[in-house]
Chains A and B, each alone.
Chain A
């Protein structure tokens, strides 16, 4: 049911006219199946428009600052962010396999593949789309961006370059595969649509890192989608390190699809961005699958980070462990919405959800909402949420042992993040998290 274009809100019109010129430009180059996917996605966007705070899922996150900014489509202008300082990226020196995207466009000159086992494909390109890659063609957009999620749909509509990680069955990639997305522009604000597809074959094993950065103080909008499919017995660790500029908008959709006995752990770390919304969805679609969803956000100033997670226990005997933590300072705000669905036949489900928030100032604000939908009767589901300040008794305890007040507060804040950090098994990422935390706390300490 398309609306009459005249009835559409101006902000929606803007994206539609960008889509028109984009699809005109691309239509000669791209295969029909891709054009169809884009068309279906833009219809979804047109139908729904941008959500408002009247929508239940967006109650605590107003998109007004995003929709009233006229972002140019970065893919149309070829605008480049200010030069990337690749050495500042975590893991830059590990000679790892690394793909770099600038404003969503693949940058071969910044990328390197390292030594990959035979058969493993790590590619960042749009030209792929023309090749004979039925598994890619089929998977792309199958798990995300085809339904209600309007931002994922928008990403699919503007699908161009994307990062592909394709692991054949029984392959093990030892070194982390690093996908980096650097965005922003020196001129007008731009929007870009990074996209990742990870296909992990049966019994394969890999660690994938997505990182996001931008020119400091640059205003831009990153709307990213990742689809990750772990086939039977695959073991995938996924890390997302979000360090966008403090003026940036960042909206992400991560969709994890787990087959029988597959194990996926997700570590989503939000350090940057003015307005951030992460959708992290896992579907446990084979018996014995196990998903770990960890998240950490550190906010200051007026940053807003909204984590919406969903774990769908579609089959019996699956486990999920979810731990989301936030440290909020100044007037920053956070949202956690953790949905857990246990389907009628998903007996013997074991699911644990924890959300903990540490407020470092009087003005910081958190909304937390567990959302359990359990349709099976032989399951174990626990959830818990806390919002609190540093324990004054613990501060006093440390002081009484000679540790000064500020150091005591820092130590306790660090300790709060410790159970997230300790699960990060890629050392440079853990170090980056701890370093950022340390700097923020030191700044706060010097402010008094």
Chain B
């Protein structure tokens, strides 16, 4: 479903991603881990279409389409969703208005009829239970005055409503206490499906106790330096990132065969 080939990305002239390769199939959950500054969030934002990141080399396929050729809104309409690490506050726009506009834009793109207010609210009421948020929440301005946990739960709530094919969760666990973490993880697990792929980006292994990944990749210095199954995450937790960076440093030939 998602195929990243030799992706190089610069931010303000500074190389951040230096040849990322990754393939994610339908139904799979992949975790991308890595130390701070390794390029994890850059990768997420490039996949979502953030303009300020410049792709200097490489390609990204979403199905058989060139993802990098698509506007951010087109990616969303085609089923790509990114849960933001720092969800944006939008005063003056209610959650419900925002979600309805988003949902109907996506439905229109798919050639489906727009939902009327009743149908839409039915979806909202059902999905909001997934993340354990109060109903009153939907009439508040988008993320304005939300606690960190509420913002993250709101991202997963949006994901549930918008029903994506590829979901990228950018550090959705950061700043959450254990209860909020479990809520978010339960929400995500409920959304696992054979026709949906999920990429979980995280600094810590903790989240992966609750969202068990099929594959774990370590992003370091702008490259994926190691991939493995879920046990790799445990190993990282036990030994830190240092040993991988050390390993990479002594075997440069293996990295560029």
Contact = CB atoms under 8 A, between A and B. Distances in A.
Contacts of B89: 394
Nearest to B104: A402
A391 B93 contact: no
State the main secondary structure of chain A at its contact with B: helix
Interface string B155-179: 0001000100000000000000000
Interface stretch (B11-19, B48-56, B183-191, B218-226): B48-56
B63 to A, nearest CB: 17
A397 interface: yes
B88 A403 contact: no
A393 B101 CA distance: 18
Interface string B92-118: 110000110111011001000000000
A77 to B, nearest CB: 46
B92 A414 contact: yes
A412 B93 contact: yes
A396 B105 contact: no
Nearest to A399: B72
B48 to A, nearest CB: 5
Interface in A384-434: 391, 393-394, 396-405, 407-408, 411-412, 414-419
A391 B109 CA distance: 25
Contacts of A403: 73, 101-102, 105
A401 B162 contact: yes
A399 B162 CA distance: 13
A47 B48 CA distance: 66
A415 B109 contact: no
Interface residues of B, number: 30
Contact of B92 (A402, A404, A405, A418): A418
Contacts of A393: 88
A441 to B, nearest CB: 15
B73 A405 contact: yes
B48 A400 contact: yes
A404 B92 CA distance: 19
A142 B52 CA distance: 59
Contact of B87 (A397, A408, A416): A397
Contact of B90 (A394, A399, A400, A405): A394
Interface stretch (B20-28, B76-84, B127-135, B202-210): B76-84
Interface in B208-240: none
A401 B99 CA distance: 8
A416 B92 contact: yes
Nearest to B99: A401
Contacts of B82: 400
B71 interface: yes
A216 to B, nearest CB: 31
Contacts of B84: 397, 400
A416 B73 CA distance: 22
- 7 pairs of A and B residues whose beta carbons are closest in the complex: A415-B92, A418-B92, A402-B76, A401-B102, A399-B72, A397-B88, A402-B105
Given A404-B71, A404-B73, 19 more contacts: A393-B88, A394-B88, A394-B89, A396-B50, A400-B48, A400-B81, A401-B98, A401-B102, A401-B105, A401-B158, A402-B76, A403-B101, A404-B105, A408-B73, A412-B90, A412-B93, A414-B93, A415-B92, A417-B92
7 contacts: A394-B88, A396-B88, A397-B84, A400-B72, A403-B102, A405-B71, A414-B92
